[in-house]
Structure 1
Amino acid sequence: MICAPVMAETAEQMLGQMRKAKELGADLVEIRIDYLKSFSPQQHLEVLIKQSPLPTIITYRPTWEGGQYDGDESRRQATLHQAMELGADYIDIELKVADEFFSSIQERSPKRPKVIVSSHNYENTPSAEEIGNIAARIQATGADIVKIATTALDITDSARILQLIAHSQVPTIGLAMGERGLISRILCAKFGGFLTFGALESGIHSAPGQPTLRDLLDLYNFRQIEPDTKVHGVIGNPIGHSKSPHLYNTAFKKAAFNGIYLPLLVDNVANFLNTYSSPDFTGYSYTIPHKMAGLECCDEVDPIAKAIGAISCMIKKPSDGKLIGYNVDYLGAIAAIEEGLGGSSSASNGSVSPLAGRLFVVIGAGGAAKALAYGGKEKGARVVVANRTYEKAKDLARKIGGESMPLTELNDFHPEDGMILANATSVGMKPNTDATPISKEALSRYSLVFDAIYTPKWTRLLREAKETGAKVVFGTEMFLNQAFVQFEKFTGLPAPKDLIRETLARNT
């Protein structure tokens, strides 16, 4: 189920939020009465419970467990007793006081609401053994539902929470808070979690890292997630800007493919892959800064990816679980640049590439830059690599038989007019949209400028290039071309290209 937390200062505002939660598709609401100003149990509780259009969880969270209530504990528990009498569907009580709470309701009606006993850790995620001990302590109180919320300091922390859910013999709510814990909030549907929380609006949530109701339903297709759903995602850091989940989840749904695609904020690729090693974790896209680390974790590497020295796509073979690395970035980028030059890929029709013989300047030396440099060289371009760390530029240029220079010299680089420029760094990416890797004056020497960044679509680099008269090629074109290839590798199905293109246009 999806539960929408309701947090407002007045009962009227809360009732409005409950109606919105129902409209958006929530299954139940968590009424956070600790957020109410001038709260009067006699005056407000019955209104909130009786007039709710959805089943209710009543939570009166104290400050010592991360909530807003900072008053008398016996008064707080008396309010929860009153909520039970008024017909709340669920009551949330903290593990710290659960024994005391249960002993006070033993003589009450057998028709009492279900009691959720909760434990919140805002510091970290304990070991699997400690989490198991907490769950056992919660069950021993007589809880109807176990709730354990921890803080994910690494994406692998979520695995311990998902493991708890998968092996629990009683209804369990398990989640890891924070951006690195998002995977737990969505995949709980796959592993049998009792519910997840979805915020009514972006930025207004009851705990860090909580997705919106709309994202759960429309972006992550939460209702379609099943125990055998295949898990895919984009591995990067940062990752919040990525539009890949929009594209692939929309396309998976259209193709009736039983898969989900997640943004994966990964700090260490090897740790992530070792932790999420089950056969259902089947395919990944790779973005900054993990394209080279991904290659090192492969069991087999496609020859093109090996030559580039970085992967952009990884597939787990169903037969033996081996990880196969590919680089499809260069296909998307070079095709987009060739189209911008008014030609087509020589690979497809045997004609000479419009890149042949042109001076092709690549900014950067990471995975995307390697793909561009390799692709340009393969098409017959004279490649020059410019990078902030000159040693990395020299190393890449040596591998592909090109030239190199420090990025500081790029503004004065002018051996000829009509050059082609490709930015393969994150300079100019949202939120640092005022940044650019090269001066506007220097752009007048280029006939075409490509930027691998696609958030925003119009980077400062591309805006200024257009103003100098150069043709511009958007990062979205590279992104689309490689997305078509990856979709087919993930699913074995033809890519719904028009749908993917429309979805990207809607989300950039």
Structure 2
Amino acid sequence: MGSIGVPKNSTMICTQLISQSVEQVVSDMHHAKAQGADLVEIRLDCIKNLKPQQDLQIILSDKPLPVVVSYRPEREGGLCEGDEYIRLQALKLAIELGADYIEIELEAASSVMAMVECKMNHDCGSKVIVSCYVEGVTPSEEDLSHLVALMEAAGAHILKLVISAADITENARIFRLLLHCQVPLIAYSVGERGLISQLLSSKFGGFLVYGTLEGNTVPGLPTLDSLRQSYKIEYLDADTKVFGLISKPVNHSKGPILHNPALRYVNYNGIYVPMFVDDLKEFFSAYGSPDFAGFSVGIPYKEAVIMFCDEVHHLAKSIGAVNTIIKRSSDGKLVGYNTDCEASISAIEDSLIEHGRNSGEASFSSSLAGKLFVLVGAGGAGRALAFGAKSRRARVVIFDIDFDRAKSLACAISGEARPYEDLVDFQPEAGAILANATPLGMHPNTDRIPISQATLGDYQLVFDSVYTPRKTRLLKEAEAAGTILVSGVEMFLRQAIAQFNLFTGQEAPEEFMREIILAKF
């Protein structure tokens, strides 16, 4: 078994508590410690009927973790509506009662520093975090650097900069700030497009990363458990290679809980993260450094991404879809591959063999040879399935809501295209295979299937490329009809194994990865 070594960075994991009562704050602090937090941020403005002297005494008297105390006013996105002097006095009191850190906004920093300077001079051990929350359009790199300089000039021990990323490419500005800042810096962007700013912060030298308590999901914030268990951010360093899934949406991805443990298992210094991408051209331009070494490609980019590859493997070029990109270390060129094709087709073939349904012409022939292969969906995943089925000499019929796209794919493989509306009444021949390559049935829209339920019993085998949930409604209905099932999870595992080999140049730990699939999918 590979070793994951020892922690490589000092980045701390924090969770923000927005509890409405002191009793809940105390309880949540203990939950945060159990879930892997290094410290907690207490939002005083969230506590109803706050009594600073009494409540802070309770919170800080027996704290299980170091504490950051913040008290955000409405103008900074908080809930404090009261007198500014009273607010600042509460933060001063937090220092006197033993808070490890207080957070104060940039515009009020000079007032707070003047109030607490005497206390600080007596080596109380408390630190001041000066923060700036930028709403709206993300400033230029030059303007962000200016904000950092202002916070540093205010006398902060630690700086905190938060932006609202409208595009994943804006996080690249944060990473460059982290690399060059001479003062401890917390910097991230909020929202789903900002998720990588948290996950990769420690690679670029961030002081602190935020995670959420279990059950308190916030878009763009990882859970404490995932930071500790899936991403293991304490093991990241400047040399860590970044891999990730380019997709839209991306929150359904199970890639991180499969690839990250596998990378550690073989002692490879890498991390795999979800990447919510809106514009491929801008994305590849922003993340062209060698740090970003490879990508999985998901919906809806498997076809469009080809034009951004410098080279395309012959199979992927034939299919017209790429699901894996490697940034070649020797020259930085992007090389595209397709691991979906073999993964999906081999999963179907092996299942037919396992159930004793190999009707190939000879023992060396594919179990798909001569069979009718009914494909729903002519996008990237559909193209991989179509070319794979054709390579096994199946007879392929394609249905897609975009009939022109179905006809184009049918022409490429010498198959047959049918209008999507004909699928409802389509009667397959005995022994036919049904393959769903559409997102229908994917979480959270789990109640939909692409064909009529009444026809499912006419198929010998039903394959669903959707893997969240593991057993989709389509597979449940097919199981009730007595057909052989092949889950998208099996395809996902097989293509991920092939991707891992391409990403790392090493052999994937197949049995270990299968164990993860069985335990967590």
TM-score (norm 1): 0.96
Tell me the residue number matched to 2:108. Answer: 97
Amino acid at match of 2:271: I
User: Match of 2:403, as an amino acid?
Assistant: Y
Letter in 1 for 2:202: A
1:476 aligns with 2:489: yes
**2: CA distance, partners of 1:421 / 1:354:** 14
| 2:98 is the alignment partner of 1:87 | yes
Name the amino acid aligned to 1:321: G
The one-letter code matched in structure 1 to 2:483 is: A
2:306 aligned partner:
295
Q: Is the 8 A contact 2:311 2:333 kept in 1?
A: yes
Q: Report SS of the residue matched to 1:429.
A: coil
Residues in 1 aligned to 2:60 and 2:408: alpha-carbon distance in whole angstroms: 67
Contact map agreement 1:125 1:176 (CA 8 A) in 2: no
Decide whether the 8 Å contact of 1:386 with 1:393 is kept in 2: yes
2:27 pairs, out of 16, 19, 25, with 16
Tell me by how many angstroms 1:9 deviates. 2.2
Assess if the C-alpha contact under 8 Å between 2:403 and 2:418 holds in 1. Answer: yes
Residue 350 of structure 1, CA deviation: 8.1
Question: Which letter does structure 2 place at the counterpart of 1:238?
Answer: P
Per the TM alignment, residue 279 of structure 1 is displaced from its structure 2 partner at its CA by: 0.5
1:315 aligns with: 326
Distance 2:132 2:284 in 1: 29
Give the counterpart of 1:27 among 38, 44, 62: 38
Q: Distance in 1 between matches of 2:325 and 2:498?
A: 12
Whether 1:448 and 2:461 are equivalent positions in the alignment is: yes
What is the aligned counterpart of 2:166 among 153, 159, 162?
153
Q: Displacement, 1:204?
A: 5.1
- Kept in 1, the 8 Å contact 2:166–2:193? The answer is yes
Deviations 1:80-114 (A, max 9, x none): 11112222211100012112222333444412521
The answer to whether the 8 Å contact 2:425/2:452 transfers is no
1:189-338 equivalences under 5 Å are 189-203=202-216, 208-338=219-349
Query: Where in structure 1 are there 5+ consecutive unaligned residues?
Result: none
Deviation at 1:31, TM superposition (A): 1.5
Q: How far 1:203 moved relative to its partner?
A: 2.5
1:386 is aligned to 399
Partner amino acid, structure 1, of 2:300: P
Q: Which residue of the partner structure matches residue 488 of structure 1?
A: 501
What residue identity is the alignment partner of 1:264? M
Q: Does 1:419 align with 2:437?
A: no
Aligned partners of 1:243 and 1:504 also within 8 Å: no
Whether 1:436 and 2:438 are equivalent positions in the alignment is no
Q: What corresponds to 2:152 in structure 1?
A: 139
Alignment CA distance shift 1:345-1:125 (3 Å): farther
Deviations 1:5-41 (A, max 9, x none): 2232222221222222222222212111111122111
CA distance in 2, matches of 1:342, 1:390: 33
Partner AA of 1:94 in structure 2: E
CA contact (8 A) 1:5 1:31 kept: yes
116-125 or 300-309: bigger deviation: 116-125
2:190 alignment partner in structure 1: 177
1:491, distance to aligned residue in structure 2 (A) = 1.5
Q: Does residue 404 of structure 1 match 2:407?
A: no
Mapped partners of 2:120, 2:108: distance in 1: 21
Aligned-pair CA distance for 1:232: 0.4
- Tell whether the 8 Å contact from 1:243 to 1:507 is kept in structure 2 after alignment: no
Alignment-mate amino acid for residue 250 of structure 1 = P
CA distance in 2, matches of 1:481, 1:252: 16
The separation in 2 between residues aligned to 1:57 and 1:179, in whole angstroms, is 25
What is the alpha-carbon distance in structure 2 between the residues aligned to residue 375 and residue 434 of structure 1?
28
C-alpha contact (below 8 Å) 1:335/1:345 kept by paired residues? no
Supply the distance in 2 between the matched residues of 1:283 and 1:499 (Cα, whole angstroms).
Answer: 22
| Of 480, 486, 498, the match for 2:511 | 498
SS at match of 1:2: strand
Q: Give the match for residue 463 of structure 1.
A: 476
For residues 164 and 358 of structure 2, what CA distance do their matches in structure 1 show?
48
After TM superposition, what 4+ stretches of structure 1 lie above 6 angstroms from structure 2? Answer: 343-346
Q: Does the C-alpha gap of structure 1 residues 88 and 470 become closer, same or farther in structure 2, counting only changes over 3 Å? A: same
The answer on whether the counterparts of 1:421 and 1:450 sit within 8 Å (CA) in structure 2 is yes
Quote how far apart the aligned CAs of 1:223 are. 1.2
CA shift for structure 1 position 294: 1.8
Following TM superposition, by how much is the alpha carbon of 1:46 offset from its aligned partner in structure 2, in angstroms? Answer: 2.2
| Letter of the structure 1 residue corresponding to residue 486 of structure 2 | V
* Aligned pair partner of 1:351 in 364, 375, 381: 364
d(CA) in 1 for partners of 2:36, 2:504: 29
Counterparts in 2 of 1:345 and 1:223: CA distance versus 1, 3 Å? farther
CA distance in 2, matches of 1:146, 1:45: 24
Q: Distance in 2 between matches of 1:201 and 1:121?
A: 27
Distance 1:442 1:219 in 2: 41
Cα displacement string for residues 399-448 of structure 1 (whole angstroms, at most 9, x for unaligned residues): 11111011110122236232111110001111111111100112232111
SS of alignment partner, residue 342 of structure 1 = helix
Residue 285 of structure 1 aligns to a residue whose secondary structure is strand
CA contact (8 A) 2:324 2:339 kept: yes
| Number of matched pairs | 504
> Counterpart of 1:116?
129
Q: Structure 1: which amino acid aligns with 2:253?
A: S
What letter matches 1:141 in structure 2?
A
Structure 2: tracts of 5 or more residues without a match: 1-11
Q: How does 1:68-79 map to 2 (within 5 A)?
A: 68-79=79-90
The 1:415/1:180 distance shift into structure 2, 3 A limit, reads closer
Give the counterpart letter for 1:380 in structure 2: R
User: What is the deviation of 1:276?
Assistant: 0.8
